[in-house]
Structure 1
């Protein structure tokens, strides 16, 4: 017997947890929908560990995320929809199909001739073409939608986090020529949306219950910010998470400074807090 457990052991464990007579009551109650929040949480914890370069905990977080896949596979197996081996098989086939520049004969054993390797632009074009073919095939075999229902934006899940979906929508539209020619008009649009947001805010001062326009304009501004990030080749979600960490570190630093001086945070004026804020800038680079 091996000293280390395997993926087969993890599948067995999952099956045991779901046993209606001897399994775990909590696990037995779960379904596809109920574990989605846990899946999202585990994915975020993986990202957090990577961003903190916490590779000790990353191993544990990756295990938690893998367990989510095993859980879905067990549910699929119970419902006769799919099983773990089927998930693996489909994924390997898909990745071989999408990487003809690595697997030229469409088999895992095939090897590309480095002398005939396509350049990055050709690889990207091939990737997009293959994914478009997959979407067309899925649409034809799926919901029975007519050609009028089909869109070049099909396949971008509505349940994605809003910022992630905004970027994917923009990238898909841009791949079909619907895009700004360069970054200059994006900056112009940013200023335009700020002014429109100000106008919407001013409107709510006299009509406080009419907030639809305010939400619309704020959403437009955020959408442009995502567009700007795309042109800057910056991941907007990662950039915001970085700012969140920076704010968290600086705020905690203010608390430490005040605590060391025996001062009550809530009793300080905004100007006093801002002065300490300015003094602790950069603390996140050493924490």
Structure 2
């Protein structure tokens, strides 16, 4: 089978056709590709999406390019599998998203007037309800990680005007939830607590913090992941310095570990 050469000019349609042709070749001739189903690809697609996320957080443009290609391959793969049972084709997929974008941007493709981004979001949610969505929150996937889901729920509610008026009100809510959590889990003594109630209050506190982050344009998922990475980098420095000095972390005091931890904070 002849190898299809890469597109050298800036011709995205030709490059996309190359991918479709290769996908068809693999589906018809490669033992692994022939065995795949929508279900078998699902967990691989999730993995590829996380790899793309890692590349974006690392601001690695070359990796972003490669991971986008992996994700695009999966999208084409799903469409090819669906076409084999006449469920839909890649053309149907592309027409569907184009039609949706046109319908949900009446300020571009019709005569609706908008003043700002918030008007666009509000129109988007109202149009979705007209299209048959029973709830504004219906489009939030149930399987989303809780932190991401909280952000999306709040954004959806804001889209129809259900929101705080200003960030000062949101911060008051944060302080209120903090106080309620302290009442359930007093850090100053060892009183037995109601675990379910404490968990509920802690959830309320996190939800209010995520709300405040939204008001000051901080993405809580990105913020937490950056802190995760910072902690990992500093902890691995601690481990490396301990090895250099012939020590085991479990045998060191917290004060000894803090010396290396503070070193890491200056790097």
Match of 2:6 in 1: 4
CA–CA distance in structure 1, aligned partners of residues 6 and 63 of structure 2 = 19
CA shift, 1:172, in A, is: 2.0
Q: What is aligned with 1:249?
A: 233
Q: String of CA shifts for 1:13-61, please: whole Å, max 9, x gaps.
A: 4344444xx5434x44543344332222211211211221222222221
Cα deviation digits, residues 101-156 of structure 1 (max 9, x gap): 55569xxxxxxxxxxxx7751x54145314422332134xxxxxxxxxx3332322
Check 1:24–1:195 CA distance in 2 against 1; reply closer, same or farther (3 A cut): farther
Q: What CA distance in whole angstroms lies between the structure 2 residues aligned with 1:211 and 1:168?
A: 27
Equivalent residue runs for 1:1-287 within 5 Å: 3-4=5-6, 6-19=15-28, 22-25=29-32, 27-103=33-109, 120-121=115-116, 124-139=118-133, 150-201=134-185, 206=192, 211-283=195-267
Task: For residue 162 of structure 2, give the secondary structure of its aligned residue in structure 1.
Answer: coil
Q: How many residues align?
A: 256
User: What is the Cα deviation at residue 265 of structure 1?
Assistant: 2.7
Structure 1 residue runs without a partner (length 5+): 106-117, 140-149
Kept after mapping to 2: 8 A contact 1:190/1:224:
yes
Call closer, same or farther: CA 1:138–1:225 in 2, change over 3 Å.
same
Instruction: Identify if the C-alpha distance between structure 1 residues 204 and 172 changes in structure 2 by more than 3 Å, giving closer, same or farther.
Output: farther
1:100–1:179 Cα change, 3 Å: closer
The RMSD of aligned alpha carbons is: 3.0
Bigger relative contact order, structure 1 or 2 (CA pairs below 8 A, ≥6 apart): 2
Matched residues in 1 for 2:199 and 2:42: separation?
27
Partners of 1:99 and 1:127 within 8 A in 2: no
Residues 33, 200 of structure 1: alpha-carbon distance in 2 compared, 3 angstrom cutoff: farther
Contact 1:167 1:227 in 2 (8 A): yes
- In 2: Cα distance, 1:70 partner to 1:2 partner: 17
Q: TM-score w.r.t. structure 2 length?
A: 0.81
**Residues 104 and 123 in structure 2, CA contact (< 8 A), matched pair in contact too:** no
| Partners of 2:105 and 2:124 within 8 A in 1 | no
How far apart are the structure 1 equivalents of 2:136 and 2:62?
A: 42
What 5-or-longer segments of structure 2 have no aligned partner? 8-14
Q: Which segment drifts farther, 5-14 or 150-159?
A: 5-14
